[in-house]
Each structure stands twice: as C-alpha cells, then as structure tokens.
Structure 1
Amino acid sequence: MIILYEHPLSPYAQKNKIALREKGVEFEIKTPDVSGGAFGGSEFLEANPRAQMPVLIDGDAKIFDSTIILEYIEDKWSEPPLLPPNPADRARVRMIEEVMDTYYEPINWGVMEINFFGRAKGSLAETIVGNAKQQAAKCREWLTKQLGDCEWFNGDRFGWSDLCVVPYINSSSFIFGIGPEANSPLADWFKRVSVRPSVAQTLQEANDSVAGLEQFSHFVEQGLFKREYRDHRLEWMIRMGGLQVVLDGIEKDNIRFSNDFS
C-alpha cells in the first residue's frame, strides 16, 4: 500500500492527495507525531531527513518534496494526464505551481502564525495581517489573468495547475475570510473545482482539521512543537514587518529552521 505522510492542512500534501485521487490510486494517510518539538517518527525521518511533509512511500521508493511527488505520480500513473501536452503550457502550469508554493503559501502561513498561534498582538498584528491581505489581493489579480477566459488554469481540462491553486484559495477563504470576490472569475473557478470528488474530499479533510489547531497552539506555546521558519516563510515574515516575531520565537525556542541531516 502506498503511504502518504501528511497533515490535512498542508497545501503541499493536499495537491498530492488530489493528484492521487484524480488518478484513482489507493493510498494510506499517516501523520507524523510531534515528539521532539517537530514532526518526527523513524519511517518519516528516514524518508525525509528534512522533516517536512509530504512524504510518499511506494515500496522501496521514498520521495519527499511535493513537486517531486507530483512528478512521480504523473510518471507512474499517466492516466488521466495532469500536465498539458504542449511544452510551453507545461512550463506555464509549473510556473503557477511555483508562485503558489513560494509566494502565496507564506501569506496563509503567516496569517495563521498571527491569528492561531498568537505570534503578535495589537498594532504589529494589524500591520502583518493588513500587509498579508493586500498581498493576497494582488496575487488573486495575477491568478485571474492566468485563468483568462479558460474554464481551468490548465486550459480546457482540470489538471496540474488547478490542483496546485485550490489548497491556497481554500485556506484563504475558509480560514481567513480573504478569498475571491463573489461572482468573480476566480470565485466561479473555485466553485467548479470544489465539486470534483478528489478536491471535495481533500478540502473537507482540511477544513475539518481546523478545529484541531487549538491543541497545536498549546504545543507551540509550551515549545513542544516548533513551527518551521524556512526560506520564503522567513523572508515573508520579516518583509511584512514581523522581525520581532522571529526574534521572540527564537528566544522562546518555539520556532525552528531547516533540519540538519543526521
């Protein structure tokens, strides 16, 4: 049985689950434990010493990084195809994925740091969240241009770029209330994509897991779980005015950076 290590709220894991479900591949879901201040577990860490989700285990194949996992899924189970046939179109949908994973992801992640984990209060919190809302609005404008007059980001059929966009728009809308304007092209796309069985199941799992964030806030406060401030997330928090958030997290020892390989 194929195993996918994930957390339902992880947008990276969500796009892998949607891809597997679109292709009718059966898989088992596991969530690493949080012992040691971060996600861990021998099988999980053996597969990905970075201690980052998701991780796909398919027999002897142990694969980390959501994009590489997507490529593995597309290579191994070619039907239905998620990438368009034209090389230029393939590059375009991969660029959309890159924007979502490195530009949009820290917006949602950063707002969660403030709203759920209480990293900042008062005027600092207002500044960071306000900047996040402005940035998300600009990104939605860019996405609307990418969608154009097409039904799907992939073009004439659902595919790679659609499953990469949907987790982020869902989190913005369901958790933070900063989703697309009603009746906008992006909102209409989200309605279409949300009723696909692969997407509906994945988003339901994500939305149901929000209730469990309260326990994570206690873990974070006690230093029992450390949120990872890596690359684009760290840059985003500082750029949005949250340098003090980073410094406080270091002092309280409830943030971490990328794992060293053991």
Structure 2
Amino acid sequence: MHQLTLHYFPKSSCSRKVLLVLLYKGIPYDEIIVNLEQGQQKSLDFLRLNPHGQVPVLQYRDHIIYDSAVINEFLEEKFPEPPLLPQDEVERAKVRMSTVYADQVFYPHISRILREFRKPVEQRNQPWIETELAQFKNNALLFLEQSLQKQANSFLFGSFTLADIAYAPGLDTLLCISGLTLEAYPATRVWLQTIRQLPAFRKTLSLSCSN
C-alpha cells in the first residue's frame, strides 16, 4: 500500500487533471474508482471523504484533500520533481491565476455542455447546446487561444505547468463528445496536440477522438 490513495472516476476531467500530475511525476499511488454514473459519489462512505460529493479526493496517510487544483498544488509541493511550477515567483503567480480562470470560467462552460450531452439524444436541448458552445468559443476558448499566441512555444508558460494541466483534460473531453473542432484556433490546436503526445496524458485517456 502506498501513502497516497486517489478516489476518482476515469471519465472525470478533474480526475484526469490529478492523474496527469501523478503520472507525469511518476508518483506511486493506490486508486479507488468512484463510479459517477452509478451515483457512488453520493454514498455515505464517500461523503465522509468529501461532503460535496465530488471527485477527485486524495488520501495522504490520515489526511483528506479534495478539489483538483488544491490536490495538484499539494502534489507539486510534496513531490517537486519534475517541476510543474516556474522557479520565478511572478511566473508562479501567473500560472496560478491561469488555473483559477480555468476553474472559474473555462470549466463551467464545459461542465454545462457535457451535462446536456449525457442526456438521451431525444431529451437534449440542441439549440441550447449550440448557444453555449458559441459562448464558450467566443469567450473562454478565444482567451486560451490568445494566451497561447503570446508564447514562443506550445505551452502556456514556456514549459509544461499546472496551467496546461488545468485546461487540457476538459477541452480534450469536450472535443471528443461535442464534435467541436479547433480549426479556427490554431495555437490551441497545436498546444493540445503537443499535450496529447505526452506519455502521462495518453495514460489518462478515457475517450478517443481525432480532432
């Protein structure tokens, strides 16, 4: 048994964020699958771990940590190699600001769209999906594209960081499920293709697509 146990669901984008850090850093861990489709996150046993009923949850010895961004910050501090935050304190702050934007603006769009796609086809509100996708593209996705266009390489802050991890799994899932493409967002397309080639990211894949 390892000192870390991850409670997660493979199809959960937030779970994949934490998996990506664990795999990228080569951190040993035990895993417990929480099947969201079967409602296991609402069980009393799981609610004792996270009263919000959300995955992922990380157990470190006798300690419980939840929220993917908080877990990833903990993992970065506990296992600093290879680094996922810049050495410069200002650049670290910029990475953290980017992860906050991802959690507060980028992901809510994706979550709402995916929630609608999980419904049976005959129950989906397709006009609403199209409107929400348009808002996502014109705001959050455009912001990511413009941020990437300012960089000299494929990553948001020079090297692969927690900021890239904050965006990539959710966007990857959205592309797989919604049919959205990145033809109008070339910098984002190259960025995601680069991240998809990382061995750690490939191991987190629960869906496959060729966008």
User: Same fold judged by TM-score > 0.5?
Assistant: yes
Which of structures 1 and 2 has the bigger CA Rg?
1
Within 5 A, what are the aligned runs for 1:51-66?
Answer: 51-66=53-68
1:133 pairs with 2:121: no
Equivalent residue number for residue 29 of structure 1: 31
Give the TM-score normalised by the residue count of structure 2: 0.85
One-letter code aligned to 1:64: Y
Equivalent residue number for residue 170 of structure 1: 172
Equivalent residue number for residue 180 of structure 1: 182
Contact 1:146 1:153 in 2 (8 A): no
Alpha-carbon separation, structure 2, partners of 1:127 and 1:199: 33
Correspondent of 1:9 among 11, 26, 29: 11
Within 5 A, what are the aligned runs for 1:36-51?
Answer: 39-41=41-43, 43-51=45-53
Within 5 A, what are the aligned runs for 1:1-262?
Answer: 1=2, 2-32=4-34, 39-41=41-43, 43-118=45-120, 121=123, 125-138=125-138, 139-147=140-148, 148-181=150-183, 184-202=186-204, 204=205, 206-207=206-207
Where does structure 2 lack aligned partners over 5 or more consecutive residues? Answer: none
SS of structure 1 residue aligned to 2:6: strand
Alpha-carbon separation, structure 2, partners of 1:24 and 1:83: 16
Give the TM-score normalised by the residue count of structure 1: 0.70
Alpha-carbon separation, structure 1, partners of 2:61 and 2:96: 27
Which shows bigger deviation, 131-140 or 34-43? 34-43
Deviation at 1:11, TM superposition (A): 1.6
Contact 1:100 1:168 in 2 (8 A): no
Q: Deviations over 1:79-119 (max 9, x none)?
A: 11111122222222222212222222222222223222149
Deviation at 1:50, TM superposition (A): 1.7
Where does structure 1 lack aligned partners over 5 or more consecutive residues? Answer: 209-262
Alpha-carbon separation, structure 2, partners of 1:44 and 1:114: 25
**Alpha-carbon distance change, 149 to 67 in structure 1, aligned in 2, over 3 angstroms:** closer
Alpha-carbon separation, structure 1, partners of 2:154 and 2:113: 28
Runs of 4+ in 1 over 6 A off after TM superposition: none
Deviation at 1:174, TM superposition (A): 1.1
Alpha-carbon separation, structure 2, partners of 1:15 and 1:21: 10
Alpha-carbon separation, structure 2, partners of 1:156 and 1:35: 38
Deviation at 1:57, TM superposition (A): 0.8
Aligned-residue RMSD, C-alpha = 2.4
Contact 2:34 2:40 in 1 (8 A): no
Q: Deviations over 1:143-174 (max 9, x none)?
A: 01211233244422111111111112201211
Aligned residues with identical type, % of pairs: 25
